[in-house]
A = this chain, B = another copy of it.
Amino acid sequence: MATPRSSVVDTSRSLHARLRPVPIGSVHLEDAFWAPRLRQMREVTLPTQHEILEETGRLFNFRRAAGKETGDFRGIYFNDSDVYKWIEGCAYALADEHDGTVERLADDVIDQIAAAQHPDGYLNTYYMFDREKDRWSNLKDMHELYCAGHLFHGAVAYHRATGKRKLLDVAVRFADHIDATFGPGKRPGTPGHPQIEMGLVELYRETGEQRYLKLAQFMLDERGKGVIGGSNYHQDHAPFRDLPDVTGHAVRAMYLNCGAADLYMESGERALMTALERMWRNMTERRMYITGGVGARHEGEAFGGDYELPNERAYSETCGAIANAIWNWRMLLATGEERFADVFELATYNGSLAGIALDGRHYFYVNPLASRGGHHRQRWFGCACCPTNIIRLVGEIPGSLYTTSDEGIWAHLYAQSTARIAFGGQTVTLVQRTDYPWDGVVRFDVTPESPGEFSIFLRIPGWSEGAHVSVNGERAGVRVSPGGYFELRRRWESGDSIKLDIPMPVRAFVSHPRVEATAGRFAIKRGPIVYCVESTDNADADVWASAMQLGSPVRTQWESDLLGGIVTLSCEGVLDDAQAWERRLFLSVEQTLGGTSRTLTAAPYYAWDNRQAGPMTVWVRGRGV
């Protein structure tokens, strides 16, 4: 059963967090976008992932470590983390809605994990038996601390969702072991792949054990001292507080920033927020895809330089977009500033969600923004971080709609739903009726148990223009500035209603002139959704060879039977004359003016590659402006 404590990042008692979470279990989604995905996660994704965890030896490794099976360790040395992330996904699913099958599977896996723990508390199935002597010998590369961090997260999430302590106890024992090993006066150390920082903070939040918080702080402070080699790749080239920009391995960079944001919310140390703010600006102003994806380079799975954002050669790992989303969620909790919700939303609906197929069982690791038709989602990967990450993000959605603060209730994401939010000593029921993200009209029914004065903060997305709000039919705000929260403070009573109207015109975007990869081309967004053109929507044409007629009217069309229900966009376009290009690399403008006028149809980027394979591009050429 879901408990009211099933928060992903529990800032309830964090002194320096502006916002406090509303648990997953408090929000019931009834929309056409997320609710089916949550159901699919329970019914398809989690069970099939469990099969693959078994099939690929990931669970065998735990039984082997427990002495129940024999043979060699299977797979990659960080594969334990996938099991922990799957548990975390199960926890969020269970917090949202009870599912006996998922809970039984998870309980069984937890039993296997618990049995594998070494009597001294250590737990990593790779470093068992003959490898035991090599524990902690290579923090830079071997991911023991990373796996531990995921264990902590999974354990905390499962405890919050089910009330069951077994995995939490395992986590606590391992955390104690790590705390006894590393720290001032003990061994130096920091992870080559961050994750444990936020894991330890969350474990602290769940258990109240200050040592875990201190240990997380210690590991953050160890960076930049060369303990793990001093490379940019590892964000070890400078002390955290001095990092000038987002660099190196993108997921590591984002996870590290998550940990630092968590630490900030506990300690309030300004230097941490200053560094985070600096990196956030560098990322959002120079190193982030229009999808919210990050990590432009295949080489090192890394952030590129400023404005280095190739499309076909984009790396933009699914985990990178997810990590970007969860970092921004933390920044939002810390500050209550809407710009972080923008990036959270952007990276969630686009860069992250593209990582999973509509069938709930195929995944992208790499997310190019253009394809010649050969890039497809896979059932699994040797390094399977992305599949087990997307379930965590989707699972968190119910907990991402609202937060609270002393002043009232904050709405961040919009989706048809019923929420029962604990606030001011009572429960406030908020019913959202909306077709968001396909339409920007959101109606709220506000039902406090008893009338009371408090604020409702409505997010006015940074991408919007001309949003307006009315309460009980009366205009409350006209042309609200985008990129903020509109505060409705009043005495709320049962029967009150709010209407938020966020216009969602189709917009063509251009990139900063320094972005060479997209100069002279256009990307289409509507509301929070980034679009792309695929050949399958365009008579199998090579969409790389198409141009949109800029300024021509764009038709929006709700297609309930297409790709789970989407709004498609159509406008006038031109398709290059393939004949003209036969055996030619360059042609004069005059030679290409012909082409074929045709309707150009775009569909959401997150849904691409779910039908007939073919070329795709987010950035299209334009004519006429």
A residues near B, CB below 8 A?
Answer: 281, 284-286, 288, 290, 310-312, 370, 372, 507-517, 519-523, 542, 544-547, 550, 576, 581, 583-590, 592-593, 619, 621-625
Contacts and interface: CB of A to CB of B under 8 A. Distances in A.
Given A514-B544, A589-B625, A583 B519 contact: no
Nearest to A544: B513
Which 4 pairs, one residue from A and one from B, show the smallest C-beta to C-beta distance?
A520-B520, A513-B545, A520-B621, A520-B521
The copy count of this chain in the complex is 2
A207 to B, nearest CB: 41
Contacts of A619: 519-520
A593 B625 contact: yes
A299 to B, nearest CB: 9
Given A508-B589, A514-B544, A519-B521, 16 more contacts: A284-B585, A286-B585, A507-B590, A509-B587, A509-B588, A509-B589, A510-B587, A510-B592, A512-B584, A513-B542, A513-B576, A513-B581, A516-B517, A520-B521, A520-B621, A624-B625
Contact of A508 (B281, B588, B624): B588
A514 B589 CA distance: 16
24 contacts: A285-B585, A290-B585, A290-B586, A311-B516, A312-B516, A370-B516, A507-B589, A508-B588, A509-B587, A509-B588, A510-B587, A510-B588, A511-B585, A512-B585, A513-B544, A513-B546, A516-B517, A517-B517, A519-B520, A519-B521, A520-B621, A522-B589, A589-B625, A624-B625
Contacts of A622: 520
Contacts of A542: 513
Given A520-B521, A586-B523, A581 B512 contact: yes
A542 to B, nearest CB: 7
Contacts of A290: 585-586
Contacts of A583: 281, 285
Interface centre among A370, A516, A517, A576 (most CB of B within 10 A): A516
Nearest to A311: B516
Contacts of A584: 285, 512
Contact of A550 (B286, B511, B589): B589
Nearest to A621: B520
A514 B624 CA distance: 21
Contacts of A517: 516-517
A382 B514 CA distance: 31
Contacts of A586: 290, 509-512, 523
A284 B585 CA distance: 7
Given A510-B587, A589-B550, A623 B621 contact: no
Contacts of A284: 585
Nearest to A623: B625
Task: Give the interface SS of chain A, mostly helix, strand, loop or mixed.
Answer: mixed
A584 B285 CA distance: 5
A49 B544 CA distance: 47
Contacts of A509: 586-589
A621 to B, nearest CB: 4
Contacts of A546: 513
A519 B507 contact: no
A402 to B, nearest CB: 28
Contacts of A311: 516
A297 B514 CA distance: 20
A516 B311 CA distance: 8
B510 A585 contact: no
Nearest to A583: B285
Contact of A372 (B370, B372, B514, B515): B514
A312 B588 CA distance: 22
Nearest to A522: B589
A370 B308 CA distance: 14
B285 A510 contact: no
Nearest to A578: B513
A286 B9 CA distance: 51
A551 to B, nearest CB: 8
Contacts of A507: 588-590
A542 B515 CA distance: 13
B585 A288 contact: yes
Nearest to A575: B513
A290 B547 CA distance: 22
Residue in A508, A523, A585, A623 with the greatest tally of chain B CB atoms within 10 Å:
A585
A332 B224 CA distance: 60
A545 B544 CA distance: 23
Nearest to A463: B588
A277 to B, nearest CB: 12
Nearest to A290: B586
A232 to B, nearest CB: 19
Contacts of A624: 624-625
A546 B508 CA distance: 19
A553 to B, nearest CB: 14
A581 B307 CA distance: 13
Contacts of A623: 625
Contacts of A515: 585
A546 B514 CA distance: 11
A312 B307 CA distance: 12
A593 B507 CA distance: 13
Nearest to A586: B509
A118 to B, nearest CB: 45
Contacts of A621: 519-520
A143 to B, nearest CB: 28
A234 B515 CA distance: 34
Nearest to A520: B520
